[in-house]
Amino acid sequence: MANNDYSLSFILENGMSRGQSVRLSESLDEIIKRHNYPNEIGLVLSQAALLTVLLSAGVKYDGIFTLQIQGEGAVKALVVSLTTDGKIRGYVHYEDADLAKVRFDENGHASLSNLFGKGQMSFTTEKSGQTYQGIIALEGDTLTDCVLDYFEKSEQIGTQIKIEAIPANTEHGWAAGGILIQKMPFDKKMAELLSQKEQDDIWETDVVLLNSVKKEELTDLNLTMEKLLYRLYSMNDLHYFMPSELKFGCQCSQSRVINMLKGFTESDLDGMIKDGKIDITCQFCGEKYEIAPEQIKGAQ
């Protein structure tokens, strides 16, 4: 497809494994450009955005899927949200002085402990008016390590993930790609054809093939995810579905801002008023709102 931002679901081995792939470019350009993030911050934000798309595909939700990281290091907060209609947004709150002390490798990466210090990752979903949240400890070297540990210990689902991102250059904007595969539960019908060990061996083969993917392949905007998946799994009964388009989009609006302000006490609101109005800037897109106090009272 012409658009470089999309997700693509697929199945392998007659449904014994399921997968999700994602490619991001223009949406990352828009997010990072709006905040003028340095490449080091752009890389960790790109990784979080890829994981947001990959994880959201395995969850039924209405509205918004949000991945959030709270830390005590140079990066205090990172948030990426994705709507059911494919609008993605994100922001990172960090301290320049603390970021200057972080040890990055030659590719611009740093360990989670160096970036976030102590902290946790969470994902939140909405379904039928209910909010659900999962908590993931920041105990690995990378965000992928943390997610894999979560699936192993909490969900007990065989999972493998490969994600990569590269900054913009003179030839292209930001480019990021990722693939997630998961082993489906042992099926009674499949048990009639294959033993548990044979199914385990097939899963291990799927994992080995995914681990063979190169950074250049995941970030090559001229190599579609369909072609990459075919390159990997053409001999593994690969079937993929229609891609879902992704694009930058923010859910902020004046009415949402007013509703948010309604949650503050009158004394708190009085402290926000300057020159007869309250100025609010959206952390995600940078949109500025001027709210008059009477607008808040009128909405209550």
Q: Do 151 and 33 share a domain, yes or no?
A: yes
More confident position, 41 or 285: 41
146-180 pLDDT per residue, tens? 999 999 888 888 999 999 999 998 788 999 999 99
Between CA 300 and CA 294 the distance in angstroms is 10
Consecutive H or E run containing 163: strand 159-166
Co-location of 211 and 274 in the same domain: no
| Strands 64-71, 175-183: pairing kind | unpaired
282 and 219 together in one domain: no
In this structure, which amino acid lies at residue 223?
Answer: L
The CATH number of the domain where 68 resides is what? Answer: 3.55.30.10
Tally of structural domains, the chain: 2
Q: What residues does 119 pair with on adjacent strands? A: 71
Q: What does the pLDDT look like over 92-148, one tens digit per residue?
A: 999 999 999 999 999 899 999 999 999 999 999 977 778 888 898 898 899 999 999
SS3 58: coil
Cα–Cα distance, 63 to 290 (Å, whole number)? 26
Domain containing residue 119: 6-248
Closest C-alpha among 277, 221, 272 to residue 6: 221
Is 90 inside any structural domain? yes
Q: Kindly state the average pLDDT of the residues 255-276.
A: 84
Closest CA to 260 of 277, 275, 241, 280: 280
Same domain for 149 and 105 = yes
Residues 300, 296: Cα–Cα separation, whole Å: 7
